[in-house]
Amino acid sequence: MDDDQREFLTDLLATASPSGFETPAQRVWVEYVERFADDVRTDDYGNAVAVYDGGDGPELAFTGHADEIGFVVSAISAEGYLHLSPVGGSDRSVSKARQVHVHTADGPVNGVIGQAAIHVRDKDDTEYDDIEEMTVDIGAADEDDARDRVAVGDPVTFAQSPRPLRGSLLTARGLDNRVGVWVAAEALRRAAERDAESTVYAVSTVQEEVGLSGAQMVGYDLDPDAAVAVDVTHASDHPEFPGSKHNEVALGDGPVVARGATNHPEVVDAVRAAAADEDIDVQLQATGIRTGTDADAFYTSRSGIPSLNLGLPNRYMHTPAEVVDTDDLNAAADLLAAFAVRAAGRDSFAVEL
């Protein structure tokens, strides 16, 4: 990952993008892909599509989702405290005593999610409050003061900056799924550099965390020959991962090809063959029912789009301290570019019966 690519990733991670409020992060993504795409377009909800026109080969969509989990201001109390509702799968167990940003029309307002000190809490109470029971303290004197600064419906995210760990590891909030949109953009750029004869759509979707909504819109609009949804997947290489959740995924061992259910066998085989040809390490993961990613929306779009979920190993998902290995991101972008090059001679990905 060169300096320009790392700056792009850092800019994505530094830009808040809770579901339904993705526009600032989508601007960052569009400004980057405009440098090398043949065309960039957006739809009414802010889904962004960059196009590399590779000629007569198949049309391939490489996608990630731009939105992240968070909160939204649901009410303001007479004392000036903000009540919250979750946006997406926010984790109540890691939410209290966190610094947050309330994203208002006039810019971010600093706040904290309140937590009683350990000295005064009931030591026998081990339950976590629901998010709807939590409040944000922005230092307001009263309700009028608070309403002068924030409004009901303003989104809220953790105030957590990206930080490097040892080697190529990176921690940040919102790696789910800024890393996926980074890979989609880089895969298009690398496919173009290799003069792939497949047409590639790099896609940054909205509102995945609240129901795969953006992917449903894009899948219907593009109707590609195949779609690869790049998203984080659970790494099991740490002590907090429950042993009952059988999984062989580790950071640094390469992107993860999902098999089963949503994942089209021809696309799976084609991506694994590209990995073998390019000497790119990949991991395998079983998905017996659904992937929980945009791939689940793409594969049922229109009359069915052959789809694959390509995973990026991630520790501590849906917390403010997610961890990935940036080497896995680079490998995923190289793999998708190689897939685009190899797919040029295909007429379709339909199974043979």
At 213-266, the pLDDT tens digits run 999 999 999 999 999 999 999 999 999 998 888 899 999 999 999 999 899 999
3-class DSSP state of 94: helix
**pLDDT score, position 35:** 96
**pLDDT score, position 339:** 98
Q: Where are the domains of the chain?
A: 3-68+173-345, 76-158
Averaged confidence pLDDT in the chain: 96
- State how far the Cα of 329 lies from the Cα of 183, in Å rounded to an integer: 6
- Residue 325 marked in a binding site: no
- Residue 253 marked in a binding site: no
208 is catalytic: yes
The separation between CA 331 and the C-alpha centre of its own chain, rounded to angstroms, equals 17
- Residue 65 marked in a binding site: yes
- State how far the Cα of 257 lies from the Cα of 276, in Å rounded to an integer: 13
Local confidence band at 121 (pLDDT 50, 70, 90 cut-offs): confident
Q: Which residue has the tokens 């303290």?
A: 137
| Residue 124 dihedral angles phi and psi, to the nearest 5° | -85, -5
At 170-217, the pLDDT tens digits run 999 999 999 999 999 999 999 999 999 999 999 999 999 999 999 999
| Predicted TM-score (pTM) of this structure | 0.96
Structure tokens at 175: 């790696």
Active-site pick, 59, 68, 208, 322: 208
Distances (CA, A) of 349 to 119, 203, 270: 62, 20, 9
At 155-172, the pLDDT tens digits run 999 998 999 999 999 999
- Residue 176 marked in a binding site: yes
Residue 345 in this model has a pLDDT that exceeds 90? no
Residue 321 in this model has a pLDDT that exceeds 90? yes
Local confidence band at 119 (pLDDT 50, 70, 90 cut-offs): confident
CATH of 3-68+173-345, one of 2.60.120.560, 3.40.50.10070, 3.20.20.70, 3.40.630.10: 3.40.630.10
The domain defined by 76-158 folds into Elongation Factor Tu (Ef-tu); domain 3 (2.40.30)
Pairing of strands 256-259, 135-137: unpaired
**pLDDT score, position 244:** 83
Whether the ω angle into residue 177 lies within 30 degrees of 0, i.e. cis, is yes
- Residue 91 marked in a binding site: no
Range 262-273 average pLDDT: 97
115 and 100 Cβ atoms separated by less than 8 Å: no
